[in-house]
Structure 1
Amino acid sequence: MQARTFLLLLQLAGLGRCLLRDDLQAAGVTAFYPGGSGYDAASQTFNRRYTFKPAAVAFPTSSRQVSDAVKAGAVNNLKVVARSGGHNYIANGLGGKDGSLVLDLSQLKKITFDSATNTALIEPGNRLGDIALALNEHGRAIPHGRCTYVGVGGHAAGGGFGFISRMWGLNLDVVKAAEIVLPNGTITTVSSDQNPDLYWGIRGAASSFGIITALTFTTYPVPTSSVIFRYGWVFDIDGATNAFESFQNFVDKGIPAELGGELVITRGPSTGRVGVEFFGAYWGPLSSFNATVAPYLATQPSPTSQTISSGNWLEGLEVLLYGALNTSTAPDPLDTFYAKSIMSPEAEPITKDAARSFFTYLANEGFASNTSWFVEIELYGGSNSAINRVPFDATAFAHRDTRFNFQLYASSSNSAPPYPASGFTFVDGMASSIISEMPHDWDYGAYINYPDDRLQDWERLYYGAHWSRLTALKRSVDPQDVYGFPLSVEE
């Protein structure tokens, strides 16, 4: 009896694939299916810790084809997900599990600049490096992250932090309008005037409500100058704790919006020590740079390493960004890793005890770990931050009071599978070394663009006080949960 049931399920699965294939073919949508040529390459993950098997990976070339593909997925009772650049940390761009219909948006790569409004219409298949190059041709730019291969669709969906965000905001903050495909296949526009509830929701949780097929961005004139800097030290636990405490104080003491960056923590040369780097960008003239960072440097010993590069906007990006600006010139690097995030609120600074606990853990457990790891303490807040000037309820992004976003990241030693079990324990320990020393009601959060599918209480940590409004919107827009994946908004 069990054998016959299993055989029937296999037959039904095969029938489902045939029906999906027929529907996509009828819509003219190119797709790859399990067992077929091209499928393995199409279903490759950025984080090779995951090996999901989608029902199909489709490559639509227009919003109409996206609409037809969404309808095909829904009628075949499949979850449908979009993949922009494919860099989701838990492979949600492949559905986050087996059996989803993946719509790869890499063929939607139009970029159109409107000089009358200084806005840019950008399709989601574009990577950040290519966008920077295209907009620079018009002397314009938008805020975005450092990794050039990241696709703008996913980047804007959940946040989009970069070293210019303190001056211009997150990537989602400059989304003026978007064309999206709803779960029923309807193509619609969202903006402050059209579908304002959806416009609110897509700026912080877009993937749960619609597939973005075009984004209209407000652009800014490129800065006339840039300074990209790195100051490095090797510290013992006391020195690292002081470096962080001094940084936390420094960023609240009148720093200009033009200053952005982070502290980067890496393995030290011996037990009890860590590398600490103050890495950032100053979007102002070199002549005023030294005075801007001097108050922090005065609290630290002389750096053991130091690099300062000045130039125009594009020259600054070439030094700052990770990966080729022209992403067609080199392959997209892959990794095997586990990551978490902690967003610390400005109203509740990291205590000295929590900082010491954190650096004690990194200096000892970090030296012993068999992973390749780093921590980025990204500066969101501080004086004059554009991120935190946006009212809390203006967008679905729930962490407008953030001072730092800690990205806790550990790769396998050679960036290839298998991932060591100890890596999970190590990264979890990074987070708990801070959280356990803060008050039990500490109101910290987590960043949905650094997703962790092992995280407890993720609804609160990722979406905060916006969760109830988001679930109501989900109930209205996607009651069948067509756009469902791990950590998505649930009704």
Structure 2
Amino acid sequence: MSISLRVNLRYNGTYRPAAIGYVNSAKQVSEVVKIGHESDLGYNVVARSGGHSYIAGGLGGKNGSIVIDLYSLAILDYEVAPAIAHMGTGFKLGTIAGSLDDWGRALPHGTCAYVGWGGHISYGGYGFTTRNWGLTLDTMISAQIVLANGTIATASQDQNPDLFFAIRGAAPSFGIVTQTTVQTLPKLSSATVYQYGWNLNVAAATSALDVYQQYSLTATIPKELGIEVVLAPGDTRGTVSFMVLGAWYGAANTFNATIKPLLDKLPKPLWTTFDVGDYRNSLKNLAGGSIDTFEPNGHDTFYANCKSLITPKNAPLTAQAERAFITYLTNQGFDTDLGWFLQIGLIGDKNSAVAAVPAGETAFPHRNALFIWQLYGYTQGNKPPFPSSGFTFIGGIADSVVKSMAAGWDYGAYTNYIDDRLQDGQQLYYKQNLPRLKELKKKYDPTRVFDFPTAIKP
């Protein structure tokens, strides 16, 4: 395993850790953390779970950090009667999904098999079952965590409840989570993975985006539907590729009736695909064909940014913002050398489990969200360097929306689409929970042992 492991080659050779500790127990994690806590050299300590951080956060986000590699903390115990699982934070999502499926169980999580469990559950965990089951972190019952002074603690509703609040959305700022206990759910008996595609001009794409937003706001969408819009360069300048895709976890013969209110207001699709099968088949399909994680993870050179657009339900996009956004994509999208795509996922409508959790119960604050956006630009051939004009282009996409909305628009950002270039990232990530998190940082890590570019500051 390379000490310079990173999924984003934009950071290739950027950060050099002071040391990397390969651990196989919470006790060993504690011993390494104490080095950072007690050293006169002021070492910061970070964890690396899957090495999938968009900003190479698993290397500290700067030179000279001590990295604790959690790869060997990959023990999974399942208790049948309460249907709970105890999982080390060294797992990849694909391994967890496959193992739980063997027991007839499942969890809400993202689609990429190689994402590490530790980071995913620490910051949120969004996927196509989120509307039905909530975020990954919403399944957490308790966690074992190593604190800044090396103490091994338990965080739950009953033990250290303030810490339990903090680690469900901001865990890396407060300690190294070594194990999580989660409430599993019965795996779904049927799953239909679907895609509809169009090539649309500005007027048609603007209308289609508004149709999607209105459907999300006004329709009583069954919670079994996972859905997002994906936009990419169109066939010619002035057009955009517009796709509606996702997964339906209800009975296959009821899908058409569910999606019909949306499709009835859109043009006839140029192409469609359907893959009907069981839940495990959907996991494989959405992961690109396999949930196995035996081969090394792939690499890319990109700027992924949620600038961060988490669209609130009570302040959806205006017609002006929709048109400005589509116009930017269909024009400037053809002036860049980058490849790019955008995902606009439905996370919180009338039937969403996300909204059922109060905003102050977890550090993740976006319980009033409607859409979660990811803006992704990458170099051709996935080779470095990433051009400076690429940052301008991706930032311009976000600005086309934000600057078209009223001043003070209450949008947010998602920490699993982490961006170290956000000037107001802390506020966008944590919103109304930020003051409380700052106070808890003073309590649990006053000397900032767990410090990195996007960490909570006391």
Q: TM exceeds 0.5?
A: yes
- Equivalent residue number for residue 67 of structure 1: 30
Contact 1:148-1:323 within 8 A present in 2 as well: no
> What is the identity, as a one-letter code, of the residue corresponding to 2:20?
V
Structure showing greater Rg: 1
Residue number among 279, 300, 310 corresponding to 2:276 in the alignment:
310
Of 319, 326, 340, 1:352 maps to 319
Aligned to 1:407: 374
Q: 1:240 aligns with which of 205, 210, 218?
A: 205
1:28 matched residue in structure 2: none
Q: Are 1:142 and 2:107 matched, yes or no?
A: yes
Among 18, 22, 25, the residue aligned to 1:55? 18
Deviation at 1:182, TM superposition (A): 0.4
d(CA) in 1 for partners of 2:290, 2:432: 38
- 1:25-424 aligned at under 5 Å gives the runs 41-50=2-11, 51-76=14-39, 77-252=42-217, 253-322=219-288, 324-328=290-294, 330-341=295-306, 342-424=309-391
Q: Is the CA contact 1:371–1:423 (under 8 Å) kept in the aligned structure 2? A: yes
Q: Secondary structure at the match of 2:232?
A: strand
Kept in 2, the 8 Å contact 1:257–1:383? The answer is no
Distance in 1 of aligned mates of 2:114 and 2:290: 8
- Post-superposition CA distance 1:344-389 (Å, at most 9, x none): 1000010111011001001111122101111000111122000111
Structure 2 residue identity aligned to 1:71? K
1:316, distance to aligned residue in structure 2 (A): 1.5
**Between Structure 1 and Structure 2, how many residues are aligned?**
451
Identify the residue that residue 18 of structure 1 maps to in structure 2.
Answer: none
TM-superposition CA deviations, 1:179-203 (whole Å, max 9, x none): 0000111111111001100001000
Shift of 1:211: 0.4
CA offset digits 1:128-159 (Å, max 9, x no partner): 01100000111000000011100010001110
Task: Check whether the contact 1:147–1:323 (CA below 8 A) recurs between aligned residues.
Answer: no
Please tell me the residue identity of whatever aligns with 1:201. A
Greater relative contact order (CA < 8 Å, ≥ 6 in sequence): 2
Q: Is the 8 A contact 1:230 1:307 kept in 2?
A: yes
Q: Deviations over 1:260-280 (max 9, x none)?
A: 121000011111001011011
In the TM superposition, residue 169 of structure 1 has moved relative to its aligned partner by: 0.3
Q: CA deviation at 1:323?
A: 6.2
Which residue of structure 2 aligns with residue 427 of structure 1? Answer: 394
Helix, strand or coil at the partner of 2:380: coil
Determine what percentage of the aligned residue pairs are the same residue: 46
In the aligned structure 2, how far is the partner of 1:136 from the partner of 1:185?
Answer: 35
State the SS of the aligned residue for 2:415: coil
Q: 2:403, 2:27 → 1: CA distance?
A: 50
Q: Select 1:488's aligned residue among 443, 448, 455.
A: 455
Which structure 1 residue ranges, 5 or more long, are not aligned?
A: 1-37
Q: TM-score, normalised by structure 2?
A: 0.97
Matched to 1:57, the amino acid is I
- TM-superposed CA distance for 1:321, in Å, is 2.0
- Following TM superposition, by how much is the alpha carbon of 1:324 offset from its aligned partner in structure 2, in angstroms? 2.9
What SS does structure 1 have at the residue aligned with 2:10? coil
Question: TM-score by structure 1 length?
Answer: 0.91
- Taking only aligned residues, the RMSD between alpha carbons, in angstroms, comes to 1.0
Partner Cα separation in structure 2 for residue 258 and residue 115 of structure 1: 25
Matched position secondary structure for 1:64: helix
* One-letter amino acid matched to 1:48: L
Q: Structure 2: which 5+ residue stretches go unaligned?
A: none
Deviation at 1:43, TM superposition (A): 1.8
Counterpart Cα distance in 1 of 2:380 and 2:292: 28
Distance 1:102 1:271 in 2: 46
Residue 322 to residue 215, structure 1, CA distance change in 2 (3 Å): farther
One-letter amino acid of the structure 2 residue matched with residue 475 of structure 1: K
Is the CA contact (8 Å cut-off) linking 2:5 and 2:51 kept in structure 1?
no
